[in-house]
Amino acid sequence: MQMMTKRGIQWLSAAADDPEECRALWARNPRSPYTLPTGRLFDVVVIEQRVGLETFEQLDRRGLPMGPVLADWGTKQVGFFLPSKSRARFEDKVTGETPDPPEYRHLGPESLVVVPGPMPLSGDRYAWLRAPMRRPEANPARLGALAAMFVAAASVVSRADRYGEEHDKADPTSADASRVRQGDTHAG
């Protein structure tokens, strides 16, 4: 879990309808989440938690460019911050990766997102996986990196789910083999 820097707070709160009110709330309670409009300073791509966490892990492990990333443990979703007005470009990148894109929501103009406070604690509903440290740098590779890792992560999670379904089916030989491994070899 990460905490925002002062410059990150300045950048993120600037998206609020009343930036001073947002900063005052966070000064009183740095754990307090805040609802911000998207589409002004940033858009947010919202992905189901398992795919979102895998996407974040792949981006982070490979050192690929990414902006702030939040988690909403209550709704089991992960949000990736992108430059504002990036919906069409992101959709193009995702469909360039696969003709059958995984499910996601793109929050742009006229949408809202609940962001964690600057210093969330373990156990809070909203957390920063990657907190805003400053205004994110303009990097055209961010959209492509997120699209590629999102599609790859969705594939990994889907294959893992199929593997579990295939191996959860009753297999009479596996029950016998399990008893032998556990030392239950007595004859009935």
Summarised one tens digit per residue, pLDDT across range 37-54 is 999 999 999 999 999 999
77 lies in some domain: yes
54 lies in some domain: yes
Domain of residue 92 covers: 6-168
Summarised one tens digit per residue, pLDDT across range 62-94 is 999 999 999 999 999 999 999 999 999 999 999
Query: What is the value of pTM for the model shown?
Result: 0.85
Residues sharing a CB contact under 8 Å with residue 80, sequence separation 6 or more, in sequence order:
44, 45, 47, 52, 55, 56, 66, 67, 69, 146
157 lies in some domain: yes
Contact assessment for residue 38 and residue 68, using Cβ atoms and an 8 Å cutoff: no
The reported pLDDT for the residue numbered 177 is 44
- State the total domains in the chain: 1
